Amino acid sequence: AAAAFGGGPFGGGGGGGSFAGAPFGGGGKRKPSFDGKGAAGFEDRPVCTFFLAGNCQYGDGCRFSHGGGGCGGKGKKGGKKGKKGKGGGAGGAGGGGSFSNKSWSAKGQGSGKGPDFEDRDAGKGPGGLQGVAPPPPGALHGSGPLPGAKALTGPYLGKGSELLKVWSMPEDIGHEEGIRTAIVMGDRVCTGGADYRLLLWRGDQQPGGRLALGQDNEVNFSSTVTALMWHAGSKFLFCGLEDGQIRGFRQEPFAELSLAGHTAAIMSLLIHEGVLLSGSLDGSVRAWRYDDAAGAFNCVATLPIPLGPVYALHLQLPDGLWVGSQKGISVLGLQSLQAVGKIDSSAPVVAMLPYEGSVLVAFGNGVVKVFSASGQEQFSHGPVGEHTTNTAVAVVRHPHANKDVLLCGQEFGYVTAYDIPDFRPRGTFSTGYEGEVTSIINMGADGIFATFGGAGDVVIWRWERA
């Protein structure tokens, strides 16, 4: 029987485990035999990011998914997409406006009516979300840069620049389909893919001391892995699936859990005070509490989100849960679980990141906004240059420039880097693969980070001295 979570709901347990032994680690002899048992039939096509940005012209005829969960079998992949050329040279510095190097610009700031969270429209005012131009008629999604490609945002960070490509995953290992999500778990990296697999990776050193990843183990499911979360206190790894299931695994003491209730893909997971929160494309957030006696999670609340499918969750302590959705952000009180405000948007929320007491919000149309803890807009940037989509974002540290850098992953394998909080474009680089960037993770030391993509690609990068 599964033991309690460290002596109580997620209590105790100490620091993060290394998963060095069975069933996840490479050191054990026993290989996991976890088989997903959820309903099949959800499509594993990549989500159309033009649809996410609100400007797909193909409607139901689009060959990419619009999140409806259509019928489609698990197809085999004929190999990862080939690498692409480096493309254009250096572009302009981007967008206009004077950004302070000590604080967010006041551009687009709210009226300052006090700390209460008020309803606002993220698409109104200068730098808002309105007026995004649709792609040229007849442009083929995912077939490479659009005709009349726009200038890069900042200089091109190619070979010989301050950004070093440390390692790129060989074609004969890794996922057979696109990677949908990735996280750091202790001293491992976890990736979830459209090939219905969770892969665990350990850090290896190549000849010459360069860092690489070696596959450590895998878990097979019956649906695409769309969200991952590692909770160090309980030592549980939670996996959200496209069919709406959530699976949980713990190594010591061994436990395997299944949470059913959502009816569409799980896009975000987090834990607060012993409660697991899950956001789904079914347009709801569910709260789950662990029952020690039963050794299972029970759903204690289902919260419909009026702004549509849920893509991201963010805890704004002490008492705020921000829910990023198709049509903006809903804010719920953590104690009451009742709506206390919202921010409407014409583009979906891709991610929400805490930064120096504020919240960085990336939208699907290439806009990045900064909000105060009370929901007042402090700053708005984009779209600018080629940066007209967001598919994944992360904040990393440039150790030599002594700067925090916001990385904005986009379609066609591009990433634009901005120094923050001044939002100066540090440059744009290409992963070398045509698929969109689906995850970016900070490796936690020496300016090292990794990008993951819809072509099944994994690339490790490191900031060098300019």
pLDDT surpasses 90 at 267: yes
279 closest CA partner among 330, 317, 231, 236: 330
pLDDT band at 97 (very low <50, low <70, confident <90, very high): very low
Cβ pair 458, 449 in contact under 8 A: no
Mean per-residue pLDDT, 192-219: 89
According to the model, what pLDDT value does residue 420 have? Answer: 96
According to the model, what pLDDT value does residue 205 have? Answer: 79
Half-sphere exposure (Cβ direction) of 147: Cα atoms closer than 13 Å? 6
Highest mean pLDDT among 58-62, 93-97, 156-160, 437-441: 437-441
Q: What are the φ and ψ backbone dihedral angles of 71, each rounded to 5 degrees?
A: -90, 135
pLDDT surpasses 60 at 191: yes
pLDDT surpasses 80 at 176: yes
pLDDT surpasses 80 at 90: no
Q: CA angle 328-381-111, nearest 5°?
A: 65
According to the model, what pLDDT value does residue 210 have? Answer: 78
How confident is the model over 433-462, as pLDDT tens digits? 989 999 999 987 889 999 999 999 999 999
Asked if residue 23 has a cis previous peptide bond (ω within 30° of 0), the answer is yes
Tokens of 59: 């409607």
Residue with the larger pLDDT of the pair 314 and 47: 314
According to the model, what pLDDT value does residue 151 have? Answer: 73
Candidate from 74-83, 187-196, 294-303 with smallest mean pLDDT: 74-83
pLDDT surpasses 90 at 421: yes
C-alpha–C-alpha distance, residues 239 and 38, integer Å = 13
DSSP 247-301: EEEETTTTEEEEE---SS-EEEEEEETTEEEEEETTSEEEEEEEETTTTEEEEEE
Sign of CA dihedral 205, 211, 212, 213: positive
Highest mean pLDDT among 84-93, 202-211, 422-431: 422-431
Those residues with Cβ within 8 angstroms of residue 298's Cβ, 6 or more apart along the chain or in another chain = 288, 289, 291
- CA distances, 372 to each of 147, 369, 375, 404, 462 (Å): 38, 10, 5, 19, 31
pLDDT band at 49 (very low <50, low <70, confident <90, very high): low
- Does the pTM of the predicted model rise above 0.75? no
Highest mean pLDDT among 148-162, 286-300, 309-323: 309-323
pLDDT surpasses 60 at 147: no
3-state DSSP assignment of residue 59: helix
Those residues with Cβ within 8 angstroms of residue 189's Cβ, 6 or more apart along the chain or in another chain = 182, 183, 200, 201, 203, 213, 441, 450
How confident is the model over 398-413, as pLDDT tens digits? 999 999 999 999 999 9
Cβ pair 268, 352 in contact under 8 A: no
pLDDT band at 388 (very low <50, low <70, confident <90, very high): very high
pLDDT surpasses 50 at 19: no
Highest mean pLDDT among 19-23, 30-34, 291-295, 339-343: 339-343
Residue with the larger pLDDT of the pair 244 and 89: 244
pLDDT surpasses 50 at 69: no
Mean per-residue pLDDT, 302-330: 96
C-alpha–C-alpha distance, residues 444 and 377, integer Å = 29
According to the model, what pLDDT value does residue 345 have? Answer: 96
- To which H or E segment does residue 51 belong? helix 49-52
Kindly state the DSSP code that residue 60 receives in the 8-state scheme. Answer: G
Which residue in this structure is represented by tokens 């442009």?
A: 139
> Average pLDDT of the chain?
76
Candidate from 93-97, 203-207, 215-219 with smallest mean pLDDT: 93-97
Cβ pair 153, 386 in contact under 8 A: yes
C-alpha–C-alpha distance, residues 403 and 352, integer Å = 20
* Entry field: residues in the chain: 466
